[in-house]
Amino acid sequence: MFENLSEKLESIFKKIKSRGILNEENVNASLKEIRMALLEADVNFKVAKDLIEDIRIRAIGKEV
C-alpha cells in the first residue's frame, strides 16, 4: 500500500518540478492527483482534505 502511494507521489512531484513557477491551475491539477493517491491508500478523508488545503495555500506562486 505505501509503496504504491510512494510511487504515485513521486510521479506527481516529477511533473510538478518540470513546471517552473506554479500557478493556480497547475497546483489544482497536481492536488487532485495527490488527493486521489491519498484516498486510494485509505488515508482518512478529512486528513487528506486538510493536507490538500494546506498545500494549496502554500504552493500557489512558488518556484520549483
Domain ranges of the chain: 2-59
pLDDT at residue number 15? 86
Which CATH number among 3.40.50.1100, 1.20.59.10, 3.40.50.10490, 1.20.120.140 corresponds to the domain 2-59?
1.20.120.140
A 10 A CB-CB count for 16 gives: 19
Q: pTM higher than 0.75, yes or no?
A: yes
pLDDT band at 56 (very low <50, low <70, confident <90, very high): confident
Whether 51 has a pLDDT exceeding 80, the answer reads yes
pLDDT in tens, 11-45: 998 988 887 777 888 889 999 999 999 999 999 99
Task: Establish how many alpha carbons lie within 13 A of residue 42's alpha carbon, considering only the half-sphere containing its beta carbon.
Answer: 2
pLDDT band at 63 (very low <50, low <70, confident <90, very high): low
